[in-house]
Amino acid sequence: MKDIILDYANGFVSDEEILRLEPQLKTVHRILYEGKDQNVGWLNYPNEYDRKEFEMIKESAEKVRSNSEAFIVIGIGGSYLGSRAVVESISHSFYDNMVVKKNNIEIYFVGNNISGTYLKELMDVLEGKDISINVISKSGTTLEPAIAFRIFKEYMERKYGRKNSKERIYITTDKEKGVLSQIAEEEGYNRFTIPNDIGGRYSVFTPVGIFPIAVAGIDIDKLMEGAQSGVMEYSSDIIKENISYIYGAIRNILYRKGKEIEILVSYEPRLFYLQEWWKQLFGESEGKDGRGIYPSSLSLTTDLHSMGQLVQDGRRNMFETVLNVISPREDIVIRKDEKDLDNLNFLAGKSMDFVNKKAFEGTLKAHVDGGVPNLIINMPKIDEYFLGKLMYFFQKSCAVSGYLLGVNPFDQPGVEKYKKNMFELLRK
């Protein structure tokens, strides 16, 4: 397999049902490409990104890797989930434990909660280490990262002095507006730009995601190549040729049939944060006006021993989308044991990936037989190229699905309500 393929043979949706949505899909296509919404800069960004800034990001990443043992990414929501998804998916599963052996830099994510315990214990881990930080926020007023930045700014100035700390602080924010932009200007911090026409959850290919990913030593050129392939392949308005539109259409057809919950399933633990990124992308884009498919996720086979019963025999209000990785990065062959006390010699000579795939096939059959629609996204392997293409696929599908649902997939009015209540309680 050389490409990402969508298999909906077990999706309980026919080609005829999908084609009936073709007029609506063509309308959505026109809305996107005519730029009627001001937040669609992500559509062609992988082809149109600022090459000069991209090279500056590479240079800054090398500087951080040369003078720092740890890198702190301060952001929440789309300001950290995209980069964390890529770092966790591509890096060694025990990345931070491989620092000495692989000459890596430790990556830590903060500003995504308001736990003093979490932050204080991170300070304990950082004791005696050289660090750099990257603060990511379009406005600079989001409470969680703003608090974390205030604390780390003081920490850096105390550790390195105000002048020297400036060389270790990187700001990713709006080009001209916002509190963080003003701080970066006044303090003379290194800075990168968040495009005005790209929202946080669609920003993984901008400096928001690319800089931390580059610091982690991941090939950002290949990541962008994958996204570029997605731009080209998923731009057709011929629906049967565009799997991102087919996926968006199937989600809506199933929603109209009462399937209100979508579970993104993976059999690879390294994809956990990709699933978290996906949940924010679809949840924040579609959950409004009393509508929305609830995005959930399961890591199998682990969660079969906790949530499997619910999926198999619970309410029939859900469907699954399985991320199936064809070729694993590493594998282990199960060897024959002479005593066979555990009765596992029937697996001798087989790989763990082989067993994992049979678990997937068995679970798929059980859930489909139990009335749960299953979509399969087959991915050749987990590398920068295919991950970039997959994430662009999801972004495009999400925009299409949101419009078919009858909502604006690029705003988040509900998020502001909790902030208003919180600030009132804090007596701001």
**Region 401-415: what's the mean pLDDT?**
92
**Region 226-251: what's the mean pLDDT?**
97
Among 161, 193, 218, the domain-final residue is: 218
**What percent of the chain has a predicted confidence (pLDDT) above 90?**
89
Return the pLDDT at 101. Answer: 43
Active-site residue list:
284, 419
Same domain, 255 and 309: yes
Asked, for residue 381, whether it belongs to a domain, the answer is yes
CATH number (domain holding residue 308): 3.40.50.10490
* 345 token code pair: 């010699």
**Region 398-415: what's the mean pLDDT?**
93
Write down the pTM of the prediction: 0.96
Same domain, 50 and 31: no
Asked, for residue 414, whether it belongs to a domain, the answer is no
The more confidently predicted of residues 36 and 14 is 14
Same domain, 364 and 334: yes
**Region 115-130: what's the mean pLDDT?**
96
Return the pLDDT at 422. Answer: 72
Same domain, 80 and 145: yes
Same domain, 315 and 251: yes
Question: What is the tens place of the pLDDT at every residue in 247-281?
Answer: 999 999 999 999 999 999 999 999 999 999 999 99
Residue range of the domain that includes 120? 44-218
**pLDDT band at residue 96, thresholds of 50, 70 and 90?**
low
Q: What are phi and psi of 303, to 5 degrees?
A: -75, -5
Alpha helix (H) residue ranges in 68-216: 81-90, 99-102, 116-126, 143-160, 162-165, 179-187, 207-215
Q: End-to-end CA distance of the chain: give it in Å, rounded.
A: 56
Same domain, 274 and 246: yes
Question: What is the tens place of the pLDDT at every residue in 149-202?
Answer: 999 999 999 999 999 999 999 999 999 888 999 999 999 999 999 999 999 999
Same domain, 154 and 279: no
Asked whether the predicted pLDDT for residue 43 surpasses 70, the reply is: yes
Question: Minimal CA–CA distance to 201: which of 270, 295, 107, 108?
Answer: 295
**pLDDT band at residue 283, thresholds of 50, 70 and 90?**
very high
Asked, for residue 425, whether it belongs to a domain, the answer is no
Same domain, 257 and 396: yes
